[in-house]
Amino acid sequence: RQPLSPCVTGERLCSTEEATAGSGTYTRHGFIFSSLAGCLERKSEDNELPVVSVVRDSESQLLPNVGAVVTCKVCSINSRFAKVHILYVGSTPLKSTFRGTIRREDIRATEKDKVEVYKSFRPSDIVLAKVISLGDAQSNYLLSTAENELGVVVARSEAGVQMVPISWCEMQCPRTHTKEFRKVARVQPQFLQT
């Protein structure tokens, strides 16, 4: 068995001279095509042609949907938005990362005009956010933290220590006692990762 490689519906896999069509595939004009999105599997039996089939990988098909709560890591910030990598949908880890954007106006539900991105997130913060619109190949998922339960759940201070939330907008380093501004999530027990 060879390592599985992802393929999309309608992808041309190989010619019918190289292999036999298995499940999740169809043949047309001497070629084998994938009939579903999944992983390409090639099995060889003795001296016969290998059988190619496409198996659905349930985990890799997991995509962030509108309304889903996702866990993401902040990559970069500027005055208008924070760029993040989505790591989990709910409590399920994603095999591939998706990029997301949290715009300034989607950080808080109130006083949106007073929000400052650098006082809400810093690079490498772990944030709980909700998907408000889907991305495509060119753009990112749009995310919101405009609910009390959403926002920064894990942040490290400049001393490299995990900070403790002391209010909805501040976290403190237990070692240096330095306070830093964040959009702090009031974490619900079901989202706590141990």
Domain of 32 in residue numbering reads as 5-55
Residue 142 has phi, psi (to 5 degrees) of: -95, 130
Res. 122: pLDDT tops 70: yes
pLDDT of residue 59: 47
Q: 38 or 104: whose pLDDT is higher?
A: 104
The residue-averaged pLDDT of 11-19 equals: 93
Instruction: Specify the number of domains making up the chain.
Output: 2
39 assigned to some structural domain? yes
Q: What pLDDT shows up at residue 6?
A: 78
Q: What average pLDDT does this structure show over 51-59? A: 74
Q: What is the CATH number of the domain that holds 123?
A: 2.40.50.140
Q: Residues 121, 86: one domain?
A: yes
Q: How many CB atoms lie within 10 A of CB 24?
A: 21
Bridge-based pairing state of the strands 164-167 and 179-181 = unpaired
Q: What is the CATH number of the domain that holds 50?
A: 2.40.50.100
Angstrom CA distances, 169 to 7, 181, 184, stand at: 44, 6, 6
In sequence order, what DSSP letters do the residues of 103-143 get, joined into one string? EGGGS-SS-GGG--GGGT--TT-EEEEEEEE---SSSPEEE
pLDDT of residue 194: 37
Please report whether residue 168 resides in a domain.
Answer: no
Residue 63 included in any domain: no
How far is 123 from 113, CA to CA, in rounded Å? 22
Note whether 81 and 47 are same-domain residues: no
176 inside domain? no
Query: Do both 73 and 121 map to the same domain?
Result: yes
pLDDT at residue 69 above 90?
yes
Say if 78 falls within a structural domain.
yes
CA distances from 192 to 106, 149, 161 (A): 23, 11, 19
Q: Yes or no: say if 84 and 122 are a contact pair by the CB < 8 Å rule.
A: no
Q: What is the pTM of this model?
A: 0.66
Q: Tell me, what's the pLDDT at 1?
A: 47
Residues 105 and 42 in one domain: no
Distance, CA of 174 to CA of 160 (rounded, Å): 11
Categorise residue 24: left if φ over 0, alpha if ψ from -120 to 50, beta otherwise: left
